[in-house]
């Protein structure tokens, strides 16, 4: 897109003559008012109504990873209406918008766009119209919140001391849309990136995160254990892969319980076991599959190595042959989602100003994973959870449930938090952006 080219050349020119940038002139009291002002702005009935409408339109038409064509079009239409320039396509359906001066620093805020391959069980007016597809992870709300942030920032664009990059990415649920976005250069020149996820466990008006590792690195494996089938009553003429697979699974349980440091959280789960179909037949082969997770690259690599060794060796003990595939169904490894320490402080300050420090919670790491990790591998990044629990409205089932529902009251909070994190970053890191470099990234 032409606009992007112009934008890029402005950027390149600026890299040569714009530094040092004068430091901002806002007092700390003025800075601390920005998040509350943005929250009040986001809670304006017409802005809320628009975000709710966007979210419901996306909810009705869920699209799976790398197929978010209509969602992407909806986003571009809304950006067009706001007069926000963007680049498209990136990573098939991805959209990258930009607001502000077109000059450094560049700070990114990100939303994922994909739905899950599952049937919605919630009966309501805006139920999914696509059989077998559902927004059950809240990515419809994430898009609405990022568009809400875009609106707030565009309406305050003359106060921005740099450029906010809006990252709408495809395929968070397993296919690694973020990885493709990174490969397509979305992080080039970006100083920092922020991401949010809705949470049914946190009260509305609160947020939670932590410095350092937040979400686990995640991998998958699938193994085919081959023996020699035959009559169940004549085992001596067979090589039984069912028994071999059973030994393999039991031995895999020992990797975490006997080989890992008890203080270094890890998981190995076998969730798939397929073999045989008759009571009186020993099958030729069995397929098992599962997932493994850890919080450091070292532990992750060690688990991967040992999973392969245990499957092959334990199958061999039972005279079977095993092959192991670490990318079944094209699944990829997700790195650890690690939050930058400097950005953690920034998050505490900004979210604290917006919600009160008591509503900014420190949380334990989770074994879940997020492809936001592909950003956190490359630049300083920060991921957090935003609450939507409201007991007067009843239970909100957790993500990936067919009964998952969004408390739409969360939308203004998410929009204002995105907008505040980004605009405060530009104000506070404006003069520091060129020293906010490798050294800080290495601290992760």
Query: For residue 192, what are the CA distances in angstroms to 4, 15, 250, 338, 372?
Result: 20, 17, 44, 13, 12
- Binding to ligand NAG (CB under 6 A) within 160-189 occurs at none
Q: Which residues contact 342 (CB under 8 A, 6 or more apart)?
A: 380, 436, 440
| Tokens 């998050």, located at residue | 347
Contacts of 301 (CB under 8 A, 6+ apart): none
Pick from 60, 284, 408, 409 the residue near ligand NAG by CB under 6 A.
409
Residue 53 tokens, joined: 């409408």
Residue 437's SS3 state is coil
400 is in an annotated binding site: yes
Q: What is the nearest approach in angstroms of ligand NAG to the Cβ of residue 203?
A: 8
Q: Where are the alpha helices (DSSP H) in 135-233?
A: 139-155, 177-183
Size of the site for Zn ion (CB under 5 A): 1
In the bound state with ligand NAG, the residue whose beta carbon lies nearer, of 66 and 396, is 396
325 binds, among ligand NAG, Zn ion, none (CB under 5 to 8 A by kind): none
What Å distances lie between residue 176 and 296, 349, 421, 434, CA to CA?
Answer: 19, 31, 25, 30
- Binding piece for ligand NAG, criterion CB under 6 A, among 72-80, 162-170, 374-382, 385-393: 385-393
Residue number of the CB closest to Zn ion reads 137
**How many C-beta atoms lie closer than 10 Å to residue 53's C-beta?**
12
Task: Assess whether the previous peptide bond of 183 is cis (omega < 30° from 0).
Answer: no
Q: Is 343 in contact with 192 (CB distance < 8 Å)?
A: yes
Question: Does 173 appear as a known binding residue?
Answer: yes
Under rule CB under 6 A, which residues in 39-78 are in contact with ligand NAG? Answer: none
Among 392, 438, 439, 442, binds ligand NAG (CB under 6 A): 392
Minimum gap (Å) between residue 400 Cβ and Zn ion: 6
Q: Which of residues 82-121 bind ligand NAG (CB under 6 A)?
A: none
Helix (H, G, I), strand (E, B) or coil at 48: helix
Please tell me whether residue 137 binds Zn ion under the rule CB under 5 A.
yes
Smallest distance from ligand NAG to CB 194, Å: 23
Question: What track of x and - describes contact with ligand NAG for positions 192 through 231 (by CB under 6 A)?
Answer: ------------xx--------------------------
Q: Is 139 annotated as a binding residue?
A: yes
Per CB under 6 A, the segment of 138-146, 292-300, 347-355, 389-397 that binds ligand NAG is 389-397
Q: Is 393 in the site for ligand NAG (CB under 6 A)?
A: yes
Selection from 113, 51, 42, 154 nearest residue 412 by Cα: 42
366 binds, among Zn ion, ligand NAG, none (CB under 5 to 8 A by kind): none
Rg (CA), the chain: 24
Tell me the C-alpha distance between 350 and 420, whole Å: 7
Distance CA 433, CA 310 (A): 48
As measured in angstroms, the least distance from the Cβ of 294 to Zn ion is: 20
Site residues for ligand NAG per CB under 6 A: 204-205, 390, 392-393, 409
Annotated binding site: 137, 139, 173, 197, 400
Annotated binding site for Mn(2+): 137, 139, 173, 197, 400
């Amino acid at each position: 897109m032409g606009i992007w080219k112009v934008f890029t050349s402005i950027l390149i020119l600026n890299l040569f003559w714009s530094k040092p940038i004068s430091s901002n002139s806002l007092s700390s009291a003025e800075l601390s008012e920005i998040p509350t002002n943005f929250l009040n702005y986001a809670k304006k009935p017409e802005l809320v109504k628009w975000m709710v409408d966007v979210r419901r339109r996306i909810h009705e038409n869920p699209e799976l990873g790398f197929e978010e064509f209509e969602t992407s079009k909806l986003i571009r239409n809304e950006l067009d209406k706001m007069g926000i320039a963007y680049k498209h396509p990136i990573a098939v359906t991805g959209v990258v918008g930009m607001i502000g001066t077109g000059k450094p620093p560049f700070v990114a805020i990100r939303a994922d766009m994909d739905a899950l391959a599952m049937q919605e069980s919630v009966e309501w007016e805006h139920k999914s119209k696509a059989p077998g597809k559902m927004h059950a992870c809240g990515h419809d709300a994430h898009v609405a919140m990022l568009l809400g942030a875009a609106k707030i920032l565009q309406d305050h664009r003359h106060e921005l001391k740099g450029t906010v990059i809006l990252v709408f990415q495809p395929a968070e649920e397993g296919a690694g849309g973020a990885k493709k976005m990174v490969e397509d250069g979305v992080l080039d020149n970006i100083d920092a990136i922020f991401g949010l996820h809705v949470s049914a466990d946190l009260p509305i008006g609160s947020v939670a995160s932590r410095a350092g590792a937040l979400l686990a690195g995640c991998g998958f494996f699938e193994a085919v254990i081959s023996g020699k089938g035959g009559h169940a009553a004549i085992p001596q003429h067979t090589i039984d892969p069912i028994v071999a697979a059973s030994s393999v699974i039991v031995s895999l349980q020992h990797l975490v319980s006997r080989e890992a440091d008890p203080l270094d959280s890890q998981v190995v789960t076998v969730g798939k076991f397929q073999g045989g179909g008759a009571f009186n037949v020993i099958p030729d082969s069995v397929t098992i599959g599962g997932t493994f997770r850890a919080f450091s690259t070292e532990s992750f690599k060690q688990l991967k190595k040992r999973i392969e060794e245990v499957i092959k060796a334990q199958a061999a003990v039972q005279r079977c042959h095993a092959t192991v595939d670490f990318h079944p169904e094209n699944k990829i490894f997700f790195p650890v989602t690690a939050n930058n320490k400097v950005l953690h402080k920034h998050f505490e300050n900004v979210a604290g100003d917006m919600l009160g420090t008591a509503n900014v919670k420190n949380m334990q790491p989770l074994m879940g994973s997020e492809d936001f990790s592909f950003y956190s591998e490359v630049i300083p990044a920060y991921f957090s959870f935003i609450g939507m629990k409201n007991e007067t409205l009843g239970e909100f089932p957790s993500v990936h449930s067919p009964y998952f529902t969004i408390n739409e009251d969360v939308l203004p909070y998410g929009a204002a938090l995105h907008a505040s994190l980004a605009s405060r970053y530009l104000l506070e890191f404006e003069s520091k952006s060129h020293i906010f470099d490798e050294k800080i990234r290495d601290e992760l």
